[in-house]
């Protein structure tokens, strides 16, 4: 007897045959079993899953931000600005996703959060080593912030290395100097672990770029990419602050952090100060 299955037409989806015995599946390539097994609420409260997923997704986006920002820094160091523009644009788009994440989190009310907050113990977003690396890379150097990671030697060593290396902005200023702009020696070789100090000479260099964009178009575009990056970072900080204010008010954060008060102060921090001050002098 002939097996009727032999005569059934082969279904071809999107003109591509499906091979169920392929060497690697979608889930295997993305490591989905591991990834989707990383959400372990400590309570029976419905909203804890939201809290976990939002923060895990944000850490993944930050991982990509770091990948792109480090890549951009390497390109700028080599005077390959066009690839750096693409990477910095990508960082800005990722930042938009990070900002949108707060809009999802604010669907959680104070009562929702209070129902599982005690389960967080001393854990705090303040302890995010990727966020700290991103701030160090962009130029917000603060050696005291490394101490929160001393219990994790690998993270502590890596953050110390990023702290002591030139920031993205330091590398940009080195590129300006290589192009013939008068950047002070103290901004080209210094203790990179120390906070950056704004300079009138650096502002004058950026003013020259902005006043003659035809001659310095790639540097002008680089400046605007940096402004985009910081603008979005400030929007992310503001959204973070308002989300915390909306959910816990002015109570102290988990882990003993100052909560909203700390986040408000962070809004005054700048990565690329002369790119903002030059707008007044133009």
Q: What pLDDT is stored for residue 148 in this prediction?
A: 87
Q: What pLDDT is stored for residue 123 in this prediction?
A: 83
pLDDT, averaged per 10 consecutive residues of the chain (282 residues), comes to 49 54 88 97 97 97 98 98 98 97 96 94 85 96 93 96 98 98 96 97 98 98 98 95 91 67 88 97 92
How far apart CA 157 and CA 150 sit, in angstroms, is: 9
How far apart CA 52 and CA 63 sit, in angstroms, is: 17
> How is the chain split among helix, strand and coil, in percent rounded to 5?
65, 0, 35
Domain extents for the chain? 45-281
Q: What pLDDT is stored for residue 4 in this prediction?
A: 47
Q: What pLDDT is stored for residue 262 in this prediction?
A: 79
Q: What pLDDT is stored for residue 16 in this prediction?
A: 55
- Is residue 98 within 8 A of residue 131, CB to CB? The reply is no
Kindly report the CA angle at 134 between 130 and 136, in degrees rounded to 5? Answer: 115
- Is residue 168 within 8 A of residue 88, CB to CB? The reply is no
Q: What pLDDT is stored for residue 250 in this prediction?
A: 81
45-281: CATH topology: Methane Monooxygenase Hydroxylase; Chain G, domain 1 (1.20.58)
């Amino acid at each position: 007897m002939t097996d009727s299955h032999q005569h059934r037409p082969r279904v071809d989806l999107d003109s591509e045959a499906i091979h169920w015995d392929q060497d690697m599946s979608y889930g295997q390539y993305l490591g989905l079993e591991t990834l989707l097994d990383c959400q372990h609420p400590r309570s029976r409260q419905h909203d804890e899953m939201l809290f976990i997923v939002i923060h895990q997704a944000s850490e993944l986006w930050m991982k990509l931000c770091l990948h792109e920002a480090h890549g951009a820094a390497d390109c700028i160091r080599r005077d390959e600005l066009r690839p750096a523009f693409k990477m910095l644009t990508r960082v800005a788009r990722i930042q938009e996703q990070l900002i949108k994440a707060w809009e999802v989190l604010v669907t959680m009310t104070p009562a929702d959060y209070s129902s599982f907050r005690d389960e967080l113990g001393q854990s705090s977003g303040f302890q995010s080593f990727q966020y700290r690396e991103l701030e160090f890379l962009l130029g917000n150097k603060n050696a005291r912030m490394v101490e929160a990671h001393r219990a994790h030697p690998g993270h502590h060593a890596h953050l110390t290395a990023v702290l002591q290396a030139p920031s993205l902005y330091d590398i940009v200023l080195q590129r300006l100097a290589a192009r013939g702009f008068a950047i002070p020696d103290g901004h080209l070789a210094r203790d990179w672990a120390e906070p950056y100090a704004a300079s009138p000479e650096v502002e004058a260099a950026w003013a020259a770029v902005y006043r003659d964009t035809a001659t310095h178009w790639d540097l002008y575009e680089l400046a605007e990419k940096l402004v985009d990056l910081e603008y979005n970072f400030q929007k992310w900080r503001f959204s973070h602050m308002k989300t915390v204010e909306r959910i816990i008010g002015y109570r102290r954060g988990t882990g003993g952090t100052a909560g909203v008060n700390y986040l408000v102060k962070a809004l005054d921090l700048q990565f690329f100060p002369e790119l903002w001050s030059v707008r007044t002098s133009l």
